[in-house]
Amino acid sequence: MGNILEGLSAFLWGLPLIVTMVFVGLYFTIGSKFFQLAYLPHILKETFSNMFTKKNTNDDSKGVLTSFEAVTTAIGGSVGVANIGGVATAIAVGGPGAILWMWLTALLGMIIKTVEVTLSVYYRSTDYDGKPYGGPTFYMEKGLGEEKNFKYWMIPAVIFGFGIFSTFFITLQNYTISEALSSTFNVGMIPASIFFSILVYIVVYGGIKHIGKVASKIVPFMVLFYLIAGLYIILSNITEIGSVFSLIFTGAFGGTAAVGGFAGAAVAQVIRMGMARSVYSNEAGWGTSAMVHSTAKVKHPVKQGIWGAFEVFMDTIIVSTITAFTIIITGKWSSGLSGAELTLSAFEAGIGETGRIIITLSILLFGLTTLTGWYSYYEILLRHLFKNRQAKIKDNLLKGFMYLYPIPGTLMVVYAVTYGLPGQTVWYFADISSAIPTFINVVVILLLSKQFFRLLSDYKARYLGIGKVDPNAILFYEDKQKDKKL
């Protein structure tokens, strides 16, 4: 079974998707005049400054969450076990060279995430409760269906939705957390899984609004907690940093020979692992976190879009790099271990048993915010799917889904424990579930690029003093529809 899944993963994350991702990333990078790089200081200033101010300048805007709550929910959804177990698996399978391809994918991913978040906010719809929701299926319906008169917009929307919902049944969060808790505290994986599911219920019970508030409290703390531990190990071995970069750059273009418990990797495998884990980690192009961003109280779609760029930067360039450097600098990358166990052993080698406990608790927090953040994505998809249902029926359907939500993760742990499913095989499921919606989404945002570039030009004129402000510019699709009716 493992060989079949590995082959399917290699096919889906093969040349067609890699070329598509690179092309779309370069298209928006060049078309925006390298916005995510040229205006990185502006992006960081806008995001960091809003983190430390109590006043929300968008309080009078329509939305469910503040921009900060939206981005912490999204970062909570993306910064998770993929940064710990996923990056470790990328190195275990592709070698240190996979990290360079992870970085390059993230730099292109910053503009891709800006685009999908911007379009999600622009094309969002107001639900029966007066709150806005959006995402890829919304801009497929409105951008492709209504604006471009593409009658078959439902086909990519259904394929996209199917790909996203496959992760509801095949979830890595519960498995990785149960594995970490089991190995560190010597408890069974199944009891650990049940404990984690109870925590998930507590957080999702209040819906998207409650998830946003919990994420805004936990996410900054958990990221800082993890970064300090990783930086301590890296700085303690700072004389080895040159060797780390050497392994990364030589492995990226020449592959990595077998060494220790590492089986060796060809260049194609290195590229595939780096790109796949980058997308699974920061979700750029996947279209997932754009859904929760769409609920933000914001006055301009691009204002929220730059939070998407910040999210990718924080997730991959900062957090995943800390994981990668820790694994490589401690020499554990060639141990033959993979997944969360590899990261745990690296931190244990760097700090001792305390390091293992710290990272286990980090995995617990990362996984909790990831799984509860993903609940927001599923709810928004369901709201779109059942948009024509009566309010009471829709509420009952959403409530039923909320009660079912953590169960598949626990069942997967039971299956893995009962039948001895290897952790690496579980990560192949993740690659397969992310490839399909990613391909659909990046093609769609490419088709809607004109709308993004219009909004970006307007943003530059309003907030950066570049160009002339059009006082009649329409910043939200719903406003455009209202004007047509008048």
SS in 3 state form for 125-182? EECCCCCEECCHHHHHHHHHHHHCCCCCCHHHHHHHHHHHHHHHHCCHHHHHHHHHHH
The predicted structure's pLDDT at residue 302: 95
The predicted structure's pLDDT at residue 142: 94
* 3-state secondary structure string across 221-264: HHHHHHHHHHHHHHHHCHHHHHHHHHHHHHHHHHCECCECCECC
Structure tokens that stand for 304 in this block? 């929220």
CA distances from 47 to 50, 101, 349 (A): 5, 26, 35
The predicted structure's pLDDT at residue 440: 92
Number of domains in the chain: 1
Using the structure block, give the residue that is written with the tokens 């978040």.
117
Closest listed residue to residue 339, CA positions, set 8, 82, 105, 95: 82
In contact, 444 and 269? CB cutoff 8 Å: no
Residues in Cβ contact with 453 at an 8 Å cutoff, skipping those fewer than 6 apart: 31, 32
Q: How far is C-alpha 469 from the chain's CA centre?
A: 33
Residues in Cβ contact with 387 at an 8 Å cutoff, skipping those fewer than 6 apart: 125, 127
Q: What does residue 474 show for φ and ψ, rounded to 5 degrees?
A: -95, 120
CA distances from 335 to 104, 237, 249, 295, 325 (A): 26, 18, 20, 44, 15
Residues in Cβ contact with 356 at an 8 Å cutoff, skipping those fewer than 6 apart: 184, 344, 345, 347, 348
In contact, 74 and 313? CB cutoff 8 Å: no
Q: What is the CA radius of gyration of the chain?
A: 21
Its pTM stands at 0.82
Look up the CATH number of the domain holding residue 42. 1.20.1740.10
256 forms bridges with which residues in the sheet?
265
What does the alpha-carbon distance between residue 346 and residue 328 come to, in Å, rounded to a whole number? Answer: 8
Domain with 324, as residue range(s), is: 2-485
Q: What does residue 339 show for φ and ψ, rounded to 5 degrees?
A: 65, -155
Q: What does residue 143 show for φ and ψ, rounded to 5 degrees?
A: -75, -50
The predicted structure's pLDDT at residue 118: 96
Structure tokens that stand for 9 in this block? 């993963």
What does the alpha-carbon distance between residue 282 and residue 111 come to, in Å, rounded to a whole number? Answer: 12
In degrees to the nearest 10, what's the CA dihedral of 275, 290, 30, 251? Answer: -10
CA distances from 31 to 17, 63, 122, 311, 439 (A): 21, 30, 19, 21, 20
Q: What does residue 471 show for φ and ψ, rounded to 5 degrees?
A: -65, -15
What does the alpha-carbon distance between residue 126 and residue 75 come to, in Å, rounded to a whole number? Answer: 24
**pLDDT tens track of the chain, all 486 residues?**
556 767 776 777 667 787 888 899 999 999 999 999 999 999 988 877 666 554 555 545 555 566 566 656 656 555 666 677 778 888 888 888 899 998 998 999 999 999 999 999 999 988 777 778 889 999 999 999 999 999 899 999 998 988 888 777 766 678 878 887 888 888 888 998 899 888 888 888 776 667 767 766 776 777 777 888 899 999 999 999 999 999 999 888 887 877 767 777 888 888 878 887 777 677 778 888 788 888 888 889 999 999 889 888 988 888 889 999 999 999 888 888 877 788 888 988 888 888 788 778 877 877 777 777 778 778 888 888 877 666 677 777 777 888 888 888 888 888 878 877 665 666 666 667 778 888 899 999 999 999 999 999 999 999 999 988 888 888 899 887 665 655
What does the alpha-carbon distance between residue 264 and residue 248 come to, in Å, rounded to a whole number? Answer: 14
What does the alpha-carbon distance between residue 134 and residue 430 come to, in Å, rounded to a whole number? Answer: 24
The predicted structure's pLDDT at residue 426: 64
What does the alpha-carbon distance between residue 383 and residue 173 come to, in Å, rounded to a whole number? Answer: 24
What does the alpha-carbon distance between residue 361 and residue 348 come to, in Å, rounded to a whole number? Answer: 13
The predicted structure's pLDDT at residue 53: 56
